[in-house]
Amino acid sequence: MIEPASATASTATHQSQTEASTTSSMPDITQLPLQHSPDIFTIVCFNDSFQIALDHSTIKTLLRVCKRTRPLLSSKVPRLHTWCQKEGLCNPDGQMRIGLTPNDQIAISLHCKDQVTANRSWLNNQADQGNPSSSYFLARILQVDLAIDQSADKSEAIRQRIFRHLENAANTSHPMAQFRLAECYRSGVGISQDHTKAVELYRGLADRGISQAQIALGSCYQYGEGVDQSFTTAIEWYSKPADQGSEDGRLHIELLRAWLSFIGHDVEQSDEVAFNHWQEVGTRSNNPVLKPIATHMVGWMHYLGRGTVQDKQKGIEIIRVNKSHEFKFGESECLAGDSTLSDSPTSRKFFELCRLGSERDWLCRHLMAACLHLGFGTTGDREKAAGDFEQLANEGHSDSQFWIGECYYRGQGVPEDDSKAFEWYTKSAYQGNSYGQWMVGACRFYGHGVTEDFTKAVEWLRRSAEEGNRYGQYTLAVCFESEFGVPEDRETAVFWYRKSAYQDHRGAIDSLKHLGKWP
C-alpha cells in the first residue's frame, strides 16, 4: 500500500538542524521529567503533522519516556487488528492490506469494542460522528471491496461513497485522505475528472514534504495532466523524495528515463539504456504500478532482441508470468490476442506511457493499439486499433500482422473476413512469428479462409510448437491424439501436451488429466 507504517521522514530543514547539533549537546530525553499526561503526549507524537517534523526514531525515543503508553497501545490496537482479520483486510502474514498511520490506528482503535465481530456499523457510526480516521478507513475498505467486485450495478454507487468518505476526512486536513481524494479527481472516481483540482491537492501536500504527493505531482507533469507537460519538472518532483532516500522516487525517475531513452526524447535514443533502466525498476521496485510495467517491457526487449540478446521464449515467459490482477496484460492478451478489460491505475499508466512514445517508436504504437483494442487503461476503440495495426502491418511488423489478422478473423474493428485474416497470418508466419504460424495451422485445420488441409496444418503447427509456442504445441498435440494429418501417436501427443502444460496452458493440463498423465 502507498501509506507507510510511519509518516514521512524529517524535512530538509529539520535534517539540517539535526546535523548541525552534536551528540554531546543533546540531552538524554529518557531522563527528562514529564509535567503532562503521557496518554495525551502519546497521541501528539502519533499526530501526522508531528511525524512530518520529526523522524520515526526520534518519536520512538520520545514515546519510551511515557510509562503509561504501553496499555494504551497493547489493549486497543490489537483489537482493531483482530477485527480487520475477521473482515478479510489482512494479508496471510497478518499485516493489514490497508496501510494506516499509527495516529489513525489509535483514533480508530479507541472505538473498536470487544463485542464488535462481524460488521462495520461501529465504524460507520464513528464516521457519521465526524471521526476523520474512520471516514478514511471506510473509504479504503470500500476500495478493496471495489477491486474484488466490479459489478456494474454496484461499482458507481461504491465509488461515490468512497469519494464522500474521503472528502469528509480531507476537510479535516487528514493528509492521506487528501492524497486519495486527489487520486479520485485525477481518475474521475465518484466525481467528474478534474486534473486541475487533483494538482491543487497534490501540490499542497507536496509542499509539506509528503513524498507520495511529490511523486504524484511529478507524474502530472510527466503526462501534462492539469499542468503543462514538462519532463524536466517531473524529474525535479520525483527527485525530492529520492533525495530523502525514497527508493520509489528514484525508480519513478528510472522508469521515465527508460521511456525517454527508448523513444529518443530529449536524449539520444538507446535501446540498451532503456533496457537497463527497465531491468533496474523491474528488479528493485515493489511498487504495484512501476514493477509490472517495467518487467513487461523487459519481456518485450528480450522477445525482440532490442538492447539485449534476442531470446523470444524468455521474453514470452517474462510477459506471461508478469500478468497480475492489476496488470492483466500477459502473453495471451498482448501476443495471442485474447480479450481483456482493465481500468486499474497500472493499466492507465501503461497506456499513457505507450501513447507518449507512439509517434516515435513502432512498438509503443503497437502496444497503444493493443490497449485500445482491449480497453486496457483506456476507453476501447477497436476501429482505431485496427487501423493502427494495419498500418504497422503494412510496414512489415510481424506482431502487428498477427493482430490485424485477429481483427479480420473475429470481425473486431473491421468487417469479418477469413480470407484477409489468413493472408495476414501467413505474412506474419513467414517472418517466423510463432503466433502467426499457429493461426495459419489453425486456419488450415478448420478451413477458415483457405481450403481445409490437415497435413499442411500440422506442418505449420509443428513450426509454431518447435518455436516454443504453447498454443501451437497444444493444437499439434490434438492432431497426434486424434489422427488429424498425422498417424495417431498417443506418446507424441503427451509430449506436446506436456510442453504446453508446463507453460500453463489450461487445455493442455486438462487433456493430460483426462489421459491420466498429469502431473
Query: What confidence tens digit (pLDDT) does each residue in 209-236 have?
Result: 999 999 999 999 999 999 999 999 999 9
**Tally of helices (H runs) and strands (E runs) in the chain:** 28, 0
Per-residue model confidence (pLDDT) at position 19: 36
What CATH number is given to the structural domain containing 501?
1.25.40.10
In a domain, 57, yes or no: yes
* Of 209, 214, 231, the residue nearest 222 (C-alpha): 231
| Helix ranges (DSSP H) in 208-343 | 211-223, 231-243, 247-263, 271-284, 290-304, 312-322, 331-334
The pTM of the full predicted model, rounded to 2 decimals, is 0.77
In a domain, 84, yes or no: yes
Per-residue model confidence (pLDDT) at position 55: 55
In a domain, 184, yes or no: no
Q: Which domain holds residue 487?
A: 434-519
In a domain, 237, yes or no: no
Q: Looking at this protein, which amino acid is placed at residue 78?
A: P
| Helix ranges (DSSP H) in 452-505 | 454-466, 470-482, 490-501
In this structure, the chain runs to a length of: 519
- What span, in angstroms and rounded, lies between the C-alpha atoms of 139 and 160? 10
In a domain, 444, yes or no: yes
Per-residue model confidence (pLDDT) at position 365: 98
Per-residue model confidence (pLDDT) at position 475: 97
Domain end point (choices 170, 204, 236): 170
Kindly tell me the sign of the dihedral angle through the C-alpha atoms of 397, 442, 384, 329.
Answer: negative
Q: Any long-range contacts for 110-118 (C-beta under 8 Å, 24+ apart)?
A: 110/76, 112/76, 112/79, 112/80, 112/83, 113/79, 114/79, 116/83, 117/83, 117/86, 118/86
- What span, in angstroms and rounded, lies between the C-alpha atoms of 287 and 219? 14
In a domain, 138, yes or no: yes
Taking 50 as the pLDDT cut, the residues of the chain under it are: 1-38
Kindly tell me the sign of the dihedral angle through the C-alpha atoms of 490, 492, 497, 498.
Answer: positive
Per-residue model confidence (pLDDT) at position 9: 35
Taking only the tens place, the pLDDT of each residue in 42-52 is 555 555 555 55
Domain count, the chain: 2
In a domain, 126, yes or no: yes
In a domain, 295, yes or no: no
